[in-house]
Structure 1
Amino acid sequence: MTDLPPSRIKDISLASRIPEGELAWMERLYPVTHAAGREIAGRDFKGRTIIVSGHLLLDNICVTLPLLDAGARVLAIACNEDSTDDRAAAYLAAKGAHVLGWSGMTPAERQELVKLAASVDADVVSDMGAEVTVAMAARGHQPWGALEATTTGLHVLTEHKTVPFPVFDWNSIPLKDALHNRWHVAATCWPTFEQVTGINLFGRKVLVVGFGPVGRGVAQRAIALGATTLVAERDPVRMLEAQHFGCIPSTLEDGLAAARIVVTATGRAKVIDDSHFGWLRDGTILFNVGHGSREIDVDALDNLPRKNVRPWIDAHQLPGERSVYLLNRGSLLNLAPGSAAFGADLFDPFAAIILRGIEWLLDGGAKDFAPGLHGFPIQIEREIAQATIASRK
């Protein structure tokens, strides 16, 4: 059994900054996850090692503490440079988890942490983005199984076809695809946008880049909020679908030239790069709601003069005396650290999916599966859906 690396967080004392009332309120926000957690806390998982890669937010506490209470060793690692709540990271470390991540990491710092996590001989991995999964495969380690939660991670796994252990895709289950991807991201990103910028969408021209489940929901909500909504999408079938939803089909270049607000939702890096900067209008606002932090080429923007003009807003000076405004350094806007957690309760069924999925793997659920990508167990999804319905009566 390999030793777990010591925690690398901003400040352990930040754990005390989470009021007891806030933790108690989390039980109200996450009733399904807490119910699953109470059962799992009574299990005996001593000697088991679990890696949980995700956004180090308060909801991660609901997932991690039951596993610790059951005797497991848990390594929690940030899946994004800019989404960590340093209070939550400190709280988890204080409770005995080994925690890797802090707000404002550089991409290089986070990649170093990914390598560190992948050096651990874990029994089970719960991943967001597949980076830990792929790094483990590269070093030849074979956990019992892994979970993957994102479209970005599925892209990564498709490109690395030699993962020598089973990986279970819960990004594609109807519960996540139809609810979280389609509705919940949009329900949280636009209130966060208004909070961060002070700008309402009425009469604004918005470009949504990507019309998968996340982009579809973001575009629909923008229309409902009064925006003229353009969509840039490579798939002509999705583009036609966007038109049926009331969006205006556009090429990426034409959309960038027309819109004043641009949001990316593709799950791929550098969808907007320096070759596109010339199309941007003075005053354009750029932000991302995809998993990665580089769908917009932040590194290329950082080669230009930059200044922070407001929390979560950086102005970048383009040639021709044009300024564009990047929100939350290109990371998921709806998870901007320190902003209001709009609709946090919406993630309850998905935190429960993670917890029950980890339990299923620890119980040997993957033993009859070949290496490679598989669907997530439908019985767990249905159990969580039923529990969620019951919790809202």
Structure 2
Amino acid sequence: MSDIADGSLAYEGVKRIEWADRSMPVLRQIRERFAAERPLDGVRVAACMHVTTETAGLIRTLQAGGASVALASSNPLSTRDDVAAALAEEFGAQVFARAGIDRDGYYAHIHRALETEPDLVLDDGCDLVNTLHTDREDLLGTVKAGCEQTTTGVIRLHQMVQEGALRFPVVAVNDTATKHMFDNRYGTGQSTLDGIVRATNTLLAGKTIVIAGFGYCGRGLAERARGLGARVVITEIDPVKALDAALQGFTVQPMAEAAPHGDVFITVTGNRDVVNADHLAVMKDGAILANSGHFDVEIDVRALDAMAVQVHRGVRPQADEYVLADGRRLVLLAEGRLVNLAAAEGHPAAVMDMSFADQALTCAWLATAHAGLAPAVHDVPAEIDGEVARLKLASMSVAIDVLTPDQEDYLHSWRIGS
């Protein structure tokens, strides 16, 4: 039995889902293939993901392959109540998601999804897998394998492996080339700035934007911020990534040096306290704080609360203004949660088309391959990543070259000299 806010919203949800589906040609092709081949017949899937129109496309694809799906939200601020209603009322999924639900309700929904005794689990941040291994070990016996689609979640999974805690194989869908390139770089780059602009209506041209982290998400953000006329400062802990940023012409500084000069701060690191009390204490009046890392720990919101003498909630939608003792005002977006999903609509459907295509094909592969996999973090098979890229190129009417037999022989021979 689903737990959603309002079943009468289903009609609006269906319209939104169908609109997004127009921009997801790869997932549509896979859905048609799944409907014919039924690779997931009888498989129970539990997912903890953002309840958005794009996620609905993945859920419908898994169902077309024969799976029964229970979906819990991975972020209450990103949940679309109309999409949840449509999935539950029109598409036959079990949905446990309400926009804005509190922490206790959030975990109660994860428990409800797990109580379906899933064969496969799909996670977005590792909260579902974490709950399985801490509070619901009684359900571990049915789980054969899982997928994780965030950097933060993969980091947590590797920590579990190091401690010998992970009990089943998990595929790091996040780490595929198509996911990094399309989702993290192009999706996060565009949708994060979209969320900031919607929440603040600020002009980014001429602003100093400080981006914490120069992984794929940080690179995409930096490229797009520079394209909009911003001065971009990168903070990093990895010398290789810092060097990459510097050679691309970005200013690279420690956060302590950047903090007094930034107009907008964006965190995309997967770590905590990246913006801390010391940084907040020297920021200029009106500085905007936004996070696009998975969890709301990258900006020390508790420190900000403690420093503020007054808080103006909702000065704009998803924007809270913190007034400090010296009169400076700092603006926190989306409560420090994912600004691109809370203040905007997340990645465009065309981006999630590839990420969820990777996810769907990996699920079908895991349905039979799980028995040969150890309880560890595994890569998506290269052929799946390549197939998704080929389908995407075909949908864009883009053709590429094919190796000739002689070229194939040359690449696979060590005997041919110069």
Structure 1 residue 372, shift from structure 2 partner: 0.8
Structure 1 residue 15, shift from structure 2 partner: 1.3
Q: Is the 8 A contact 1:119 1:136 kept in 2?
A: no
Match of 1:343 among 317, 335, 348: 348
SS in 2 for 1:365: helix
Partner of 1:105: 101
Measured at CA, do residues 347 and 240 of structure 1 come closer, stay the same or move farther in structure 2, by a change above 3 Å? same
Q: Which amino acid aligns with 1:158?
A: H
Partner of 1:260: 263
Q: Is the 8 A contact 2:269 2:293 kept in 1?
A: yes
1:210 maps onto 2:213 in alignment = yes
Number of residue pairs the alignment of both structures matches: 385
Partner of 1:56: 51
Specify the structure having the higher radius of gyration (Cα): 2
Q: Which amino acid aligns with 2:107?
A: Q
1:156 maps onto 2:151 in alignment = no
Structure 1 residue 165, shift from structure 2 partner: 0.9
1:329 maps onto 2:323 in alignment = no
Q: Is the 8 A contact 1:193 1:333 kept in 2?
A: yes
Distance 1:316 1:359 in 2: 48
Partner of 2:28: 34
Identity %: 30
1:374-389 matched pairs, under 5 angstroms = 374-389=378-393
Partner of 2:125: 129
Q: Which amino acid aligns with 1:386?
A: R
1:114 maps onto 2:110 in alignment = yes
Measured at CA, do residues 373 and 201 of structure 1 come closer, stay the same or move farther in structure 2, by a change above 3 Å? same
Q: Is the 8 A contact 1:125 1:147 kept in 2?
A: yes
Structure 1 residue 85, shift from structure 2 partner: 1.1
Q: Is the 8 A contact 2:27 2:61 kept in 1?
A: no
Structure 1 residue 77, shift from structure 2 partner: 1.3
Measured at CA, do residues 203 and 58 of structure 1 come closer, stay the same or move farther in structure 2, by a change above 3 Å? same
Partner of 2:232: 229
Q: Is the 8 A contact 1:166 1:369 kept in 2?
A: yes
Partner of 1:3: none
Structure 1 residue 233, shift from structure 2 partner: 0.9
Measured at CA, do residues 114 and 273 of structure 1 come closer, stay the same or move farther in structure 2, by a change above 3 Å? farther
Structure 1 residue 46, shift from structure 2 partner: 4.8
Q: Which amino acid aligns with 1:181?
A: N
Distance 1:199 1:72 in 2: 45
Partner of 1:357: 362
Match of 2:86 among 80, 84, 91: 91
After superposition, what is the alpha-carbon deviation per residue over 1:242-262, rounded to whole angstroms, capped at 9, x for unaligned? 111111111112211110100
Partner of 1:271: 274
After superposition, what is the alpha-carbon deviation per residue over 1:51-108, rounded to whole angstroms, capped at 9, x for unaligned? 1221100011111123334443211111123111111111111132111222223334
After superposition, what is the alpha-carbon deviation per residue over 1:209-245, rounded to whole angstroms, capped at 9, x for unaligned? 1111111221122122111111111122222221111
1:194 maps onto 2:197 in alignment = yes
Q: Is the 8 A contact 1:192 1:342 kept in 2?
A: no
Partner of 1:390: 394
Structure 1 residue 44, shift from structure 2 partner: 6.8
Distance 1:131 1:88 in 2: 22
Q: Is the 8 A contact 2:17 2:57 kept in 1?
A: no
Deviates more, 1:313-322 or 1:328-337: 328-337
Q: Is the 8 A contact 1:151 1:171 kept in 2?
A: yes
Q: Which amino acid aligns with 2:386?
A: R
Match of 2:288 among 270, 285, 288: 285
Q: Is the 8 A contact 2:31 2:64 kept in 1?
A: no
Distance 1:340 1:49 in 2: 28
Q: Is the 8 A contact 1:9 1:100 kept in 2?
A: yes
Q: Which amino acid aligns with 2:121?
A: V
Distance 1:212 1:27 in 2: 29
Distance 1:376 1:55 in 2: 21
Deviates more, 1:347-356 or 1:33-42: 33-42
Partner of 2:410: none
Aligned-residue RMSD, C-alpha:
2.1
Partner of 1:65: 60
SS in 2 for 1:279: coil
SS in 2 for 1:258: coil
Distance 1:72 1:250 in 2: 49
Match of 2:72 among 66, 72, 77: 77
Measured at CA, do residues 273 and 104 of structure 1 come closer, stay the same or move farther in structure 2, by a change above 3 Å? farther
After superposition, what is the alpha-carbon deviation per residue over 1:123-155, rounded to whole angstroms, capped at 9, x for unaligned? 001111112123223316041111111110012
Distance 1:203 1:105 in 2: 38
Distance 1:153 1:14 in 2: 31
Structure 1 residue 375, shift from structure 2 partner: 0.8
